[in-house]
Amino acid sequence: MKRTTCISAAASVVLIVGGPVSAATAASADTARTVTAAAAAVPTAETAEQASAAALKHYPGVVESLDKDGTVWHVDVISKDGKGHAELEVAADGTVTEENLDTDENPAEHKDLIAAKVTAEQAMKAALAAHPGQVWSVSWQDDEDGGAHYWEVEVRSSDGKTWDAHVDHATGKVTQSDSNSNNGDDNN
């Protein structure tokens, strides 16, 4: 009987002392999983597509233009009603900074952009399908003389060439594409 009491007492001591230690260990493991998941959830903006997504999350609307300057992306977003215009900087870590915000735009100036069937993001995908590489810039081309509207997308390939693609605003078809190498030679 003494032996059973001693074993029970020893088991109680282990549970009493070990319980908080186990709980603390479990809590630390949960915290580590939470921190790791949170760190993994932080969006980066190393590509044009990621920069566009970060900008639109910060200021919902339609991307009008996007270009890379070093490690920073400059993104212009027009609100869906055409009255707002945000000039944003998106850092490589996904941080978005408002450089300029205008809420008194003339919606008529942006009606064609807002009505375009092909978004900047879709134009980037079309350009990359035609010319693999990395998108360096995309911009809405609004010909004020009544000409066709289109997206101009600059793609830089791994071989050092830069491709300037025109993407149709209604179909997403790459309608024109010019290549320039970094040494200034034109390859049309």
- Predicted TM-score of the model (pTM): 0.71
**SS in 3 state form for the chain?**
CHHHHHHHHHHHHHHHHHHHHHHHHHHHHHHHHHHHHHHHHCCCCCCHHHHHHHHHHHCCCEEEEEEEECCEEEEEEECCCCCCEEEEEECCCCCEEEEEEECCCCHHHHHHHHHCCCCHHHHHHHHHHHCCCEEEEEEEECCCCCCCCEEEEEEECCCCEEEEEEEECCCCCEEEEEEEECCCCEEC
Going by pLDDT thresholds of 50, 70 and 90, the confidence category of residue 181 is low
Average pLDDT, the chain: 80
Q: How far, in Å, CA of 22 to CA of 28, rounded?
A: 10
pLDDT value at position 21? 46
**Mean pLDDT, range 151-172, rounded to an integer:** 93
Q: How far, in Å, CA of 110 to CA of 78, rounded?
A: 8
Percent pLDDT > 90 in the chain is 62
Q: How far, in Å, CA of 120 to CA of 150, rounded?
A: 10
24 pLDDT more than 80: no
Q: C-alpha angle with apex 87: 172 to 122, nearest 5 degrees?
A: 15
Give the position of tokens 């900008």: 55
**Mean pLDDT, range 64-72, rounded to an integer:** 95
**Mean pLDDT, range 109-134, rounded to an integer:** 95
Going by pLDDT thresholds of 50, 70 and 90, the confidence category of residue 125 is very high
Q: How far, in Å, CA of 78 to CA of 4, rounded?
A: 78
Higher per-residue pLDDT: 22 or 136: 136
**Mean pLDDT, range 69-96, rounded to an integer:** 96
